[in-house]
Amino acid sequence: MTMKIFIPRESTAVSLGAHDVAQAFTHYASHHDIDLKIIRNGSRGLFWLEPMIEIETAQGRMAYGPVASSDVESIMADITDNICHEKPPCHTLALGLTEEIGYLKKQTRLTFARAGIIDPVSLDDYLALDGFKGLQKSLALSTQEIVTAVVESGLRGRGGAAFPTGIKWQTVRDAVAEQKYIVCNADEGDSGTFADKLVMECDPFMLIEGIIIAGLAVGANQGYIYLRSEYPIADEILQQAIKIANEAGYLGDNICGSGKSFNLEVRLGAEAYICGEETALLESLEGKRGMVRFKPPLPALEGLFGKPTIVNNVLSLAAIPFIMSQGSQAYQQYGTNRSRGTLPFQLAGNVKQGGLIELPFGSSLQDLIDDFSGGTASDRPIKAIQVGGPLGAYLPLNKLDIPLDYEAFSQASAVLGHGGIVVFDDSVDMLEQARFSMEFCVVESCGKCTPCRIGSTRGVEVIDRIKNNERRAENMTLLNDLCDTMIDGSLCAMGSMTPIPVRSAYNDFPQDFYLPTQESNHD
């Protein structure tokens, strides 16, 4: 009987030695005459356990992790001595049945239901778990019926702006043009985020299916995935998946015999954070320098090459197959208020158990930290948590009861963004974090508008003067005024949102701006 072992090919697992582990299992099997099949699956998103390997058994998959190549011999002994005889595993790295691991069991996985289970480039695996079911249903619907289903699902853009996805689709559908485009924003650049990467590396056909459905909904026959070049494994897997989808008739001319066509290409970005902003992305996609465009016109009306264009984030498009296959109500039943469905949160920073956590909107940040983080890696108390990437607020402990939904975060002058959560222990200096926020804007600003380009540079200088105790009170006033100018005058979110982490730092952690030095005037 063939023994099946699953070893991730996702980038985190690979960076921690997954390829070496796979080679060690192959070597062991060949020298011990064991009929072994190694399947390179995606990751489950439990990064502190990577490389996490799984053994197929009659009861389900048994997991071990984190596994090094030096562990292979003892794990194989545990498998042959215990698991193969239906006895519980005894190895110190044994985790039991994968589906019973608490970190997974406490989640509600809609978008990531297949992640870590399937071989990401196996079309058979994808089809066996409802793959392309949403596309098949969509092909039988009118364009308006598809758009209406997305509107009724309550899906909002998962890239950070949270604009209703269905409304954007309706605008593009209603635009009159011979050519329309679908652009997938895969330029995931927020610190501590990796959900887009996991989608592309673990379940790429789901993203492809979502993009095709978007094309059907608005009458577009060409799509692009704008992928950051720092994701080479995602690029490799996407290229394989697109080739397979073309050969199987899910892309190209006459999709599934429907007479409809859709083509899809991957284009690599050039490591610029600003190209996560949709108009800068479109400029880059057209071969120009990635700079923000004035609005209006909106990209939905004049986007790529001046044509009506849907620009959606990876997670937004990845949610579409579930909505179309299971129905808008099946998605809409999750969540709270106007935040419907689930959001894949990405837990990183100073924690023991970093990874991906997909939950319905509405849980509190405190519950998420308590249930999943395992505490700080340093074993020191938590001081601050930044949610929503580098432009998100630093939240103190007394604000961790905020529900994880767009409205609650907005009311707290914070942003949920792409779902990135970065934890800091009590050794962090929030004045330095505020300075980092301004410095980040200095480096990543496209330079088109003065409040962002010059304001961030002056911001670093002002914070340095506060740090050096130079006319501290006056410079605090100046910093506040500078934040107002950036918010009111910047052309895009890069400049207008940089003050959010800066202000949260000095409003919620004033001791780091005023203590321990005393006010003095060096002039």
Supply the pLDDT for residue 337.
87
C-alpha triplet 401, 405, 411: angle, nearest 5°: 75
Q: With the C-alpha atoms ordered 141, 146, 152, 153, is the resulting torsion angle positive or negative?
A: positive
CATH fold match for the domains 3-106 and 123-333? no
CATH classification (class only), 335-425:
alpha beta
pLDDT digits (tens, 9 = 90+) for 461-496: 999 999 999 999 999 999 999 999 999 999 999 999
Q: Indicate the SS3 state at residue 311.
A: strand
Supply the pLDDT for residue 191.
87
Q: In the CATH scheme, what is the code of domain 3-106?
A: 3.40.30.10
Supply the pLDDT for residue 522.
41
In order along its 523 residues, the chain shows pLDDT tens digits of: 899 999 999 999 999 999 999 999 999 999 999 999 999 999 999 999 999 999 999 999 999 999 999 999 999 999 999 999 999 999 999 999 999 999 999 999 999 999 999 999 999 999 999 999 999 999 999 999 999 999 999 999 998 789 999 999 999 999 999 999 999 999 998 989 999 999 999 999 999 999 999 999 999 999 999 999 999 999 999 999 999 999 999 999 999 999 999 999 999 998 899 999 999 999 999 999 999 999 999 999 999 999 999 999 999 999 999 999 999 999 999 999 899 999 999 999 999 999 999 999 999 999 999 999 999 999 999 999 999 999 999 999 999 999 999 999 999 999 999 999 999 999 999 999 999 999 999 999 999 999 999 999 999 999 999 999 999 999 999 999 999 999 999 999 999 999 999 999 999 999 999 744 444 444 3
- Beta bridge partner(s), residue 63: 54, 96
pLDDT digits (tens, 9 = 90+) for 420-466: 999 999 999 999 999 999 999 999 999 999 999 999 999 999 999 99
345 close to 371: Cβ distance less than 8 angstroms: no
Q: In the CATH scheme, what is the code of domain 430-512?
A: 1.20.1440.230
Supply the pLDDT for residue 521.
43
Residues 193 and 445: their CA atoms lie apart, in Å, by 20
Supply the pLDDT for residue 520.
45
The domains of the chain are located at 3-106, 123-333, 335-425, 430-512
Looking at 230-389, which runs of residues are DSSP E strands? 263-268, 309-313, 335-336, 339-340, 342-349, 355-360, 382-387
264 phi/psi in degrees, rounded to 5: -140, 135
Eight-state DSSP code of residue 469: T
According to CATH, the topology of domain 123-333 is Rossmann fold (3.40.50)
Work out the percent of the chain whose per-residue pLDDT is above 70.
98
374 close to 101: Cβ distance less than 8 angstroms: no
Helix pair angle (165-174, 143-153), 10° resolution: 160
Residue 341 half-sphere exposure toward CB, CA atoms < 13 A? 30
Residues 313 and 197: their CA atoms lie apart, in Å, by 12
- Taking only Cα atoms into account, the Rg of the chain, rounded to an integer number of angstroms, comes to 24
Compute the CA torsion angle 268, 274, 278, 284 (nearest 10 deg).
Answer: -40
